[in-house]
Amino acid sequence: MFEAYIFPILLFAGMGILAGVLLTAASKIFEVKSDPRVDEVNEALPQVNCGACGYSGCSDYAKAIVEKGEKPNLCKPGGANSADKISEIMGVSAGAAEKQIAVVRCSADCESKKQSFEFEGELTCVNAKRFYGGMWGCKFSCLGQGDCAKVCPSDAIVIKDGLARIDKSECIGCGMCAKVCPNDVIEIRKMAPTADVLCSSKDMGKAVKAVCGKGCIGCKLCEKQCEFDAIHVTDNIARVDHDKCTACGKCAEKCPVKVITMAKV
């Protein structure tokens, strides 16, 4: 009776208690003090794990905020909302957390850009780019194979007629698409009323005209129109300084190729 039933029970109870005591002692010796604020900050983040803040995920960023004093306003999907909550937890002022958005700086769909050859491989932008810089005549254009759409965490990008189109209401501004685009055609800019030049071609005007019906020819008419010194033509392409632009719309009116658009929001 004793050997068959009671002894094993006592033995295992004893071993269990011993193990428990050992572990308790060890947990005291090897205690790692974790800040309860890390969890709170983590909860304030949107948990998209997009990596736009520069850390590998939301929990990593939360840790960096609490332990290394990282800025609370780096979360782009969370925007001002997260930043306010985090700064409340941490007791520091947030600074303006600007919501950002991705813009495809190319407006040429299949109809308006000339195709040089057929690409018969696995159709991804990166593959297409490797082969003579892509199948389009314009080597700066959107390659239109949807590498950006594949990485978008919020499914805001669709490819239509060989051009990536971003749904502004869905875009969280994380910048994943800009990172994978082999032509760097996607720009991440602040979400504000501003002008967008929907072309990235650094070719001279004549070369642009030869391959695309909707490209910036670098005529500098917009530069002359702008009263705020916000648009400049460098490398044969107009660029908008989004901090200075007031979205007055004068450049867009004058643009002979209608490549400048005005974003209302």
Partner 1 sequence: MKSMLVILFSAMLTNNFVLSKFMGICPFLGVSKKLDSAAGMGAAVTFVMVCATICTYPVYTFLLAPFGLEYLKTVAFILIIALFVQLIEMILKKKIPSLYESLGVYLPLITTNCAVLGVTILNIDNGYNFGESIVDALGAGLGFTLALLIFSGVRSRVDKADIPETFKGVPATLIAASIVSVSFMSFSGMVEGIFS
- Give the single-character DSSP code of 221: H
Among 12, 117, 131, 228, binds partner 1 (CB under 8 A): 12
Structural contact between residues 114 and 84, judged by C-beta atoms closer than 8 angstroms: no
5 contributes a contact to partner 1 by CB under 8 A: no
Identity of the residue, 32 or 96, whose beta carbon is nearer to partner 1 in the bound complex: 32
Question: 28-67: which residues touch partner 1 (CB under 8 A)?
Answer: 30-32
Among 1, 13, 17, 19, binds partner 1 (CB under 8 A): 19
Identity of the residue, 35 or 253, whose beta carbon is nearer to partner 1 in the bound complex: 35
Is beta strand 163-166 parallel, antiparallel or unpaired with respect to 231-234?
unpaired
Structural contact between residues 98 and 191, judged by C-beta atoms closer than 8 angstroms: yes
131 contributes a contact to partner 1 by CB under 8 A: no
Identity of the residue, 34 or 234, whose beta carbon is nearer to partner 1 in the bound complex: 34
13 contributes a contact to partner 1 by CB under 8 A: no
CA atoms within 13 A on the CB side of 167: 12
256 contributes a contact to partner 1 by CB under 8 A: no
CA atoms within 13 A on the CB side of 214: 19
Token representation of residue 169: 């209401």
Neighbours of 5 (CB within 10 A): 9
Contacts with partner 1 by CB under 8 A: the residue count is 15
What is the spatial distance between Cα 76 and Cα 79, in angstroms, rounded to a whole number? 5
Tell me the one-letter amino acid at 182.
P
Identity of the residue, 18 or 265, whose beta carbon is nearer to partner 1 in the bound complex: 18
In the complex, the smallest distance separating the C-beta of residue 22 from partner 1, rounded to whole angstroms, is 7
Structural contact between residues 251 and 226, judged by C-beta atoms closer than 8 angstroms: yes
* Secondary structure of residue 35 in the 3-state scheme: coil
In the complex, the smallest distance separating the C-beta of residue 92 from partner 1, rounded to whole angstroms, is 25
120 contributes a contact to partner 1 by CB under 8 A: no
Which positions touch partner 1 (CB under 8 A)? 3, 7-8, 11-12, 15-16, 19, 22-23, 26-27, 30-32
